Amino acid sequence: GNSVTQMEGPVTLSEEAFLTINCTYTATGYPSLFWYVQYPGEGLQLLLKATKADDKGSNKGFEATYRKETTSFHLEKGSVQVSDSAVYFCALSAIYNFNKFYFGSGTKLNVKP
């Protein structure tokens, strides 16, 4: 079946630190992969996506590379800001049914000044 596993949180960093949030997936075939972000009190927003192996998604300084060989899609940012504090969700959409999405459990990021 399809599933997404992400690292447990919370992750607490100081401003300007390097961020990595690990995400691995299990899927049939080659799904599309996404990172969504949820700021406090809000719904989720798409942060970035990748639709095929070796694609790199990027947005707002965040990056993630679709690694087929390791079934991973780790989120990285070189220098986090306090405003990046949020919950981050890794997700996939199944290749046979793009309208079925599978989300990880979410990783809360706290960035301290």
Partner 1 sequence: EAQVTQNPRYLITVTGKKLTVTCSQNMNHEYMSWYRQDPGLGLRQIYYSMNVEVTDKGDVPEGYKVSRKEKRNFPLILESPSPNQTSLYFCASSYAKGTGELFFGEGSRLTVL
Can you give the binding site for partner 1, defined by CB under 8 A?
Answer: 4, 32, 34, 36, 41-46, 49, 51, 89, 91, 93, 98-106
User: Which of 37/111 has CB closer to partner 1?
Assistant: 37
User: Which of 17/103 has CB closer to partner 1?
Assistant: 103
User: Which of 3/79 has CB closer to partner 1?
Assistant: 3
Residue 84 dihedral angles phi and psi, to the nearest 5°: -85, -5
Rounded Cα–Cα distance for residues 77 and 70 (Å): 20
Minimum Å gap between C-beta 15 and partner 1 is: 27
Minimum Å gap between C-beta 113 and partner 1 is: 27
Minimum Å gap between C-beta 94 and partner 1 is: 10
Minimum Å gap between C-beta 16 and partner 1 is: 29
User: Which of 35/77 has CB closer to partner 1?
Assistant: 35
DSSP notation for the chain? --EEEE--S-EEEETT--EEE-EEEE-SS--EEEEEEE-TTS-EEEEEEE-STT-EEEETTEEEE-BTTTTB--EEESS--GGG-EEEEEEEEETTEEEEEEE---EEEEEE-
